[in-house]
Amino acid sequence: MTDDVQRFRAAHVVTPAGVVDDAVVEVRGDRVSAVHPNNGDERAERLGGWVVPGFVDTHVHGGGGHDYASGDADAILAGLDFHARNGTTTSFASLVTASLDDLAAQLDVLADLVDDGHLAGVHLEGPFLSVEQPGAHQQDLLRAPGPATVDRLVEAGRGTLRLVTLAPELPGGLDAVRRFVASGVRVAVGHTAADDAMVARALDAGADVGTHVFNAMTPIHHRRPGPVPRLLTDPRVAAELIADGFHVAEEVLRMALAAAGPDGVVLVTDAMVAAGMPDGPYRLGALDVRVVDGQARLLTDDGTPGSIAGSTLTTARAFALVAAITGDLAATARFASTNAARHYGLDAGTVEAGGPADLCLVDDRGTLQRVMRRGRWLEAA
Ligand SMILES: [Zn+2]
């Protein structure tokens, strides 16, 4: 009988019990079957570096030239493959604001991909957003959340809708938070002009995520705090951060990571179709975007730089940047994987016996070297 166990020996393995040095990871099928200190087993392939849990991205619109809102399952799978080769082994698919009919159609396609195990869920980033903080969302389609609208979107998701971003200050906003949460959908506060008191009410109503904190919300001011301080420090909240050094300056990232603590941050890419692609013209939803030096912005009539329109980030790059900021690869692995997995109850975020064989190998600086998804090594990006 052939031995169907894969064995890898790494300099460090980040496990729930802490970092195990000079450790062997055993993989059987698509699960990790054991993690133990090296015992001299010559069958183990030497990897060097750090084995960390495969990355989780809960806010991403596409990549590699492919848009998760396209309604084209093959294109969506190709986008997921691009991000998987960049370390994201577990992903939501995020949808920007569109008409309810279009969103329902997009949800229908994505729900099949969730049912088939390609996606961990769907994230609706609109249409219940503030016209004061629209970011790259089509303003004429933004709307307040009525109960019938909420129910229609939940039904269209067929149980796969996991997260909705909304501005709680909209008419009916707090009721919508309660209605989504009662339907098993998490609510993220974002694209919002809410003040701190309104954010507190939204959290008490059940919201427990902050959508790309700092971006598309009232900025922090020492007398008018806005949403940022509470989203970072309330222990119920998973605070999304886009760690590309552009959406949030590195010094502010450093402050935010410290304020939110080891369990409070989930790194997201907010990547759009142009991630991994050359500079040039692209689209986000129905809006025209131009990518210059890897930075995506809406195209404006007069040619001035428009609102930031998602990112071209990969989780691998975010991991390396946060690793450089923190100097702590185990902490960075929590931000890039474990915290999101725990918050949303995903089969991800851990390297231990019985856990998924979704693994990233990074070097001492946090640079991605190899990715294993479901027990198979992927080709490098
Ligand atoms: Zn987004």
Domain containing 355 — which CATH number?
2.30.40.10
SS3 string, 352-381, reads CCCCECCEEEECCCCCEEEEEECCEECCCC
Instruction: Tell me: cis bond preceding 145? Omega within 30 of 0 counts.
Output: no
**If you average pLDDT over residues 203-219, what whole number do you get?**
98
CA 314 to ligand 1 center in whole angstroms: 13
- For residues 58 and 48, state if they share a domain: no
Residue 287's CATH number? 3.20.20.140
Considering the domain architecture, whether residues 318 and 371 belong to the same structural domain is answered as: no
Distance 35 CA to ligand 1 centre (A): 36
Number of folded domains in the chain? 2
The helices-and-strands tally (H runs, E runs) of the chain is: 10, 22
pLDDT tens-place string over residues 165-198: 999 999 999 999 999 999 999 999 999 999 999 9
Distances (CA, A) of 320 to 83, 174, 224: 15, 37, 33
Q: What pLDDT is recorded for position 41? A: 83
Query: What global pTM score does this model have?
Result: 0.97
Give the tokens for residue 162.
């996991």
Q: Are residues 234 and 363 in the same domain?
A: no
Binding site, annotated residues for Zn(2+): 125, 191, 212
pLDDT per residue over 151-167, tens digit each?
A: 999 999 999 999 999 99
pLDDT reported for residue 304:
80
Which residue intervals of the chain are DSSP H helices?
73-85, 100-115, 147-156, 173-182, 196-205, 228-233, 250-260, 315-326, 329-333, 339-344
Residues whose CB is less than 8 angstroms from the CB of residue 48 and which lie 6 or more positions away in sequence, other chains included = 10, 11, 363
Instruction: Report how far residue 19's alpha carbon sits from residue 103's, in angstroms, rounded to the nearest whole number.
Output: 43
300, pLDDT greater than 90: no
What's the alpha-carbon Rg for the chain, to the nearest Å?
20
> Can you give the pLDDT at residue 1?
44
For residue 205, is pLDDT > 60?
Answer: yes
Summarised one tens digit per residue, pLDDT across range 35-73 is: 999 988 889 999 989 999 999 999 999 999 999 999 999
Distance in Å from the first CA to the final CA of the chain: 35
One domain, residues 48 and 65: no
Ligand 1 is a single-atom ion; what residues have CB below 5 A from it?
A: 125, 270
Return the residue matching tokens 């691009």. 82
Residues 5-40 pLDDT 10s = 999 999 999 999 999 999 999 999 999 999 999 988
Q: How far apart are the CA of 62 and the centre of ligand 1, in A?
A: 10
Q: Say whether both 225 and 367 belong to one domain.
A: no
Q: Provide the β-strand partners of residue 164.
A: 124, 187
Q: Does 2 have pLDDT greater than 70?
A: no
Look up residue 144 and give its two tokens. Answer: 């307040």
Per-residue pLDDT tens for 310-336?
A: 999 999 999 999 999 999 999 999 999
Q: Are 216 and 359 part of one and the same domain?
A: no
CA of 271 to the centre of ligand 1 (A): 7
Confidence (pLDDT) at 93 = 98
**pLDDT value for 381:** 64
What is the Cβ-side half-sphere exposure of residue 88, based on CA atoms within 13 angstroms?
Answer: 30
Is 60 exceeded by the pLDDT of residue 241?
Answer: yes
Residues 25 and 90 in one domain: no
State yes or no: is 270 an active-site residue.
Answer: yes
Residue numbers of the domain that contains 302: 54-344
Please compute the mean of the pLDDT values over residues 341-349 and round it to a whole number.
Answer: 98
**Phi, psi (deg, nearest 5) at residue 317:** -70, -40
How far CA 169 is from CA of 35, 177, 191, 202, 209, in Å, comes to 48, 11, 11, 9, 16
Q: Are residues 89 and 45 in the same domain?
A: no
Annotated catalytic residue within 41, 270, 358, 363:
270
Annotated binding residues, as ranges?
125, 136, 191, 212, 215-216, 223, 247, 308-310
How far does the centroid of ligand 1 lie from the alpha carbon of residue 23, in Å?
Answer: 38
Q: For the segment 349-366, what is each residue's pLDDT rounded down to a tens digit?
A: 999 999 999 999 999 999
Same domain, 45 and 114: no
Question: In angstroms, what is the span from residue 136 Cα to ligand 1's centroid?
Answer: 8
25 CA to centre of ligand 1 in angstroms: 35
For residues 10 and 91, membership in a common domain is answered with: no
Burial class from Cβ neighbours inside 10 Å (0-12, 13-18, 19+) for residue 1 reads exposed
Claim to verify: residue 231 and residue 365 sit in the same structural domain: no
Backbone angles phi, psi at 280, to 5 degrees: 150, -170
Residue 321's alpha-carbon distances to 97, 246, 318, in angstroms, are 30, 11, 5
Question: pLDDT > 70: what percent of the chain?
Answer: 99
Q: Ligand 1 mean position to 165 CA, how many Å?
A: 9
The CA 310 to ligand 1 mean position distance, Å, reads 6
Are 195 and 91 in a shared domain? yes
Q: Is 251 exposed, middle or buried (0-12, 13-18, 19+ CB in 10 A)?
A: exposed
Contact yes or no for 48/21 (Cβ under 8 A):
no
Which pLDDT does position 3 carry in this prediction? Answer: 61
